Amino acid sequence: MLNAPVMEANDAVSGSMAECYVTIDGNRYNMMQLYSFESSAKVNSQDVKILGRTGIGKKPTGWSGSWKGTAHFNQSVFRRWFLTYCKTGRMTPFEIQVSNEDPSSSAGRQTITHTGCLIDSSILAKFDAGDSLLDEELSGTFDGWDMPEEFTELSGME
């Protein structure tokens, strides 16, 4: 049996210890209404036929980004952004910045900045007499991203 290093339980990052800011047309908003968020990037690839092999290779040909989240239904920032598009035909991409930092974890802080963000659809109005709290699902795309802050490598990872 090996004595391999193991992660300390305190180094898990709490899901609620995050920050999310959205910048639209130069205005920066703390999107504290979001209580769930996830972004992902997918590699687009093309099949490559190779003589002398029975399998097909893959060649990366680009990527695409998408995001989704759930928010309390108590902000008009995204609806105002969408209304501008509906009235003028002008849709300006925006930025979403997400930072994870749990002070009890040795992992430190990671920040991902998503650029060229758009929303796929928007709930305009909503009510439900049987619901105690209203929320809304948000989703969209992004075409660029950066990582200005990275988690610290935990002891034993190297």
* % of the chain beyond a pLDDT of 90: 89
Per DSSP, the residues of 90-144 read ----EEEEEEEE-TT-TT-EEEEEEEEEEES--------TT-SS-EEEEEEEESE
Q: What is the pLDDT of residue 1?
A: 56
Average pLDDT of the chain, as a whole number: 94
Q: Is 2.30.110 the CATH number for 12-149?
A: yes
The residues spanned by each domain of the chain are 12-149
Q: Quote the CA–CA distance of 11 and 106 in Å, as a whole number.
A: 5
| CA-wise closest residue to 74 among 21, 126, 11 | 126
Q: What is the pLDDT of residue 44?
A: 97
